[in-house]
């Protein structure tokens, strides 16, 4: 089954339902974050001319978390604690829709298994390892940290 035949995302539907509930409950901050998520999902669908699946919703959510983490660093440097708190709250809402992260030990084991499976032994193989890791982890690991670990192993 290719991506165009995959039904609409269950995660997207859950976010839409949660947005409706937040609207009814008058939870303005949560509603704002959920609307941002839905807007990013809609942008993905427009850009790719297809309905989004759960795998790609996770990628959108991961990107949004990454953007907020980068903003937090900037706001800390600018001594804007109010904005740091806002971004932190947004991250906690975004993470409600992401799968639980794998611990470091499990991540290391998964990386080792993939390197053995692909017989990767140089930095030239890093792309293959990263792609396989992303497919297997499905949003449950920090790919930036994983990239650093893989690079250290393959050097």
CATH label of the domain that carries residue 19: 1.10.1510.10
Q: Do 111 and 86 share a structural domain?
A: no
Q: Do 137 and 87 share a structural domain?
A: no
Write the DSSP assignment of 62-131 as a string of letters: HHHHHHHHHHHHHHHHTT-HHHHHHHHHHHHHHHTTSPPPPPHHHHHHHHHHHHHHHT--SGGGHHHHHH
pLDDT at 1: 39
CATH label of the domain that carries residue 142: 1.10.10
Spell out the residues 6+ positions from residue 29 whose beta carbon is closer than 8 angstroms to its own.
Answer: 89
Q: Do 113 and 89 share a structural domain?
A: no
Domain boundary, last residue among 74, 95, 116: 95
Instruction: Work out the widest C-alpha separation in the chain, in whole angstroms.
Output: 55
Residue 115 included in any domain? yes
Q: Do 70 and 39 share a structural domain?
A: yes
pLDDT at 7: 60
Q: Do 117 and 64 share a structural domain?
A: no
Q: Do 35 and 72 share a structural domain?
A: yes
| Count of the separate structural domains present in the chain | 2
Residue whose pair of structure tokens reads 């998964």 in the numeric block:
110
Residue 148 included in any domain? yes
pLDDT at 138: 77
**Rounded to whole angstroms, how far apart are CA atoms 53 and 11?**
8
Per-residue pLDDT of the chain (155 residues; tens, 9 = 90+): 344 444 678 999 999 999 999 999 999 999 999 999 999 999 999 999 999 999 899 889 989 999 999 999 999 999 999 999 999 999 999 999 998 888 889 999 999 999 999 998 889 999 999 999 988 887 788 888 899 999 999 88
Whole domain around residue 108: which residue ranges? 104-154
**Rounded to whole angstroms, how far apart are CA atoms 88 and 83?**
8
C-beta of residue 38 within 8 angstroms of C-beta of residue 15: yes
Q: Do 111 and 91 share a structural domain?
A: no
pLDDT at 29: 97
Residue 1 included in any domain? no
């Amino acid at each position: 089954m290719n991506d165009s035949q995959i039904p609409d995302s269950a995660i997207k539907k859950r976010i839409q339902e949660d947005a409706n509930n937040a609207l009814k409950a008058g939870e303005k901050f949560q509603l704002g974050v959920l609307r941002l998520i839905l807007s990013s999902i809609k942008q993905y669908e427009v850009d790719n001319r297809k309905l989004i699946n759960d795998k790609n919703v996770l990628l959108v959510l991961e990107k949004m978390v990454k953007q907020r983490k980068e903003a937090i660093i900037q706001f800390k440097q600018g001594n804007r604690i109010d904005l740091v708190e806002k971004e932190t709250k947004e991250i906690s809402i975004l993470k409600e829709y992401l799968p639980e992260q794998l611990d470091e030990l499990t991540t290391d084991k998964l990386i080792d298994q993939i390197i053995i499976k692909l017989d990767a032994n140089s930095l030239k193989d890093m792309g293959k390892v990263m792609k396989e890791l992303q497919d297997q982890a499905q949003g449950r690991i920090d790919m930036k940290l994983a990239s650093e670990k893989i690079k250290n192993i393959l050097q």
